[in-house]
Structure 1
Amino acid sequence: MKKVAVFGNAGGGKSTLSQKLSQITGLPLHVLDKIKFQPGGAEVSQEDYQHTHQQILATNRWIIDGFGSMETLWPRLDEADTLVYVDLPLYVHFWWVTKRLITGYFQPPEGWPQNSPIFKSSLSSYRALWLCHKYLTPKYREYTKQAQSTKNVYHIRSTQQISQFLELIEHQAKLKDIH
């Protein structure tokens, strides 16, 4: 596990999972929302975003959290040796976007650029939920199914599996330290 892509629908806990995964593995974490958006929520140019994304892909070790753009999504998944696909039931994604909207006024959401507009960003997440579920989820599922023969694939389908995945990785890291 050297190049890890964490992806899935909005509000699935990808940023929290990625942060914990980075702490366990020591792999550098790159949060695409923080690369694609400046503090305050303004979007960087597509050219700047793609350039930064390509620079990260060219390194030997990374965790990349998030969607980014259609132009960078598939090359990133192809380059990764490990895929962590967070594919929770749609109602869980919806609830966690709502929870993030409410709590975001008191504590900034994990993985969001500083001073992000909570309400506006949450509305974007709500719009993305159905679009991702309808168009990308079937493609993600097919991609991860095909990739199982060449990559480490973790297809997380429940909130319990998030904890189980992190426990497994922590256990593997401890075994590695012993040997």
Structure 2
Amino acid sequence: MKKIAVFGKPGSGKSTLSKRLSAATGLPLYPLDSIVYKTNGDLVDRETYDKNHESILSSGSWIIDGFGPIGSFYKRLDAADTLIYIDLSYSVSYWLVTKRLLKGLFVKPEGWPDGSSVLKGSLESYKVLKLCPMFWNDDFSQKLEKMSENKMVYVIRSMSELNEFIAQKFE
């Protein structure tokens, strides 16, 4: 396990799990938000993003959490030897985005891009959550199942599974 892609709906705990996973394995962590956004919260241009993403994918080991542009998402899944899909219910994901927003009014969420508005990011997360059923569906699940033939695939479907994942697998 040297190249790990962690993905799922907004607010599903990808960043938290990825940080714990990086600490447990010693693998370098690349939060996708740090590749997609400049330090002031603006999006990087697509050419810069693609160059940085390809550089990470070609390195010897990594953990990348997030989704990003669809083409790069599938490249990441192909390059990874381990896939971790956090597939929490929509109600839990909406709650976690709301919780992050409420806490973010007082303290910047850990890993949140500098200069990026928590309110604006949360509103974007709500928009993305509304569109998620068009992507995170049975077709994607079938693709993921096919990928499991030649790589490790973990699907986490509850908060208890999420909270226990690292302890069960790596500690």
Q: Establish whether TM, by shorter chain, passes 0.5.
A: yes
Letter in 1 for 2:140: Y
Q: Which residue of 1 aligns with 2:38?
A: 38
Query: How big is the shift at 1:145?
Result: 1.2
Determine whether 1:163 maps to 2:166. Answer: no
Identity of aligned residues (%): 46
Partner of 2:41: helix, strand, or coil? Answer: coil
Distance (whole Å) between structure 1 residues aligned to residue 143 and residue 108 of structure 2: 32
Which sections of structure 1, spanning at least 5 residues, go unmatched? 172-179
What TM-score, normalized to structure 2?
Answer: 0.95
* Cα deviations by residue, 1:29-83 (Å, 9 ceiling, x for unpaired): 0011111111231000011001100000000100000011112000100110000
Distance (whole Å) between structure 1 residues aligned to residue 71 and residue 33 of structure 2: 15
Which sections of structure 2, spanning at least 5 residues, go unmatched? none
Query: How big is the shift at 1:170?
Result: 2.2
Q: Which residue of 1 aligns with 2:115?
A: 115
Q: Which residue of 2 aligns with 1:47?
A: 47
Q: Which residue of 2 aligns with 1:176?
A: none
Summarize the alignment of residues 120-159 of structure 1 with structure 2, pairs less than 5 Å apart.
120-132=120-132, 134-138=133-137, 139-159=139-159
Distance (whole Å) between structure 2 residues aligned to residue 105 and residue 145 of structure 1: 39
Distance (whole Å) between structure 2 residues aligned to residue 14 and residue 72 of structure 1: 17
Asked whether the 8 Å contact 1:144–1:155 carries over to 2, the reply is: no
What is the CA RMSD across the aligned residues, in angstroms? Answer: 1.1
Distance (whole Å) between structure 1 residues aligned to residue 80 and residue 111 of structure 2: 20
Distance (whole Å) between structure 1 residues aligned to residue 166 and residue 107 of structure 2: 24
Distance (whole Å) between structure 2 residues aligned to residue 109 and residue 22 of structure 1: 18
Letter in 1 for 2:45: S
Distance (whole Å) between structure 2 residues aligned to residue 82 and residue 162 of structure 1: 16
Distance (whole Å) between structure 1 residues aligned to residue 54 and residue 126 of structure 2: 28
Letter in 1 for 2:63: I
Distance (whole Å) between structure 2 residues aligned to residue 20 and residue 106 of structure 1: 24
Query: How big is the shift at 1:107?
Result: 2.2
How many aligned positions are there?
Answer: 170
Q: Which residue of 1 aligns with 2:26?
A: 26
Query: How big is the shift at 1:150?
Result: 0.9
Partner of 1:137: helix, strand, or coil? Answer: coil
Which region of structure 1 is more displaced relative to structure 2, 83-92 or 160-169?
A: 160-169
Query: How big is the shift at 1:143?
Result: 2.2
What TM-score, normalized to structure 1?
Answer: 0.91
Distance (whole Å) between structure 2 residues aligned to residue 99 and residue 28 of structure 1: 27
Query: How big is the shift at 1:110?
Result: 2.8
Letter in 1 for 2:149: S
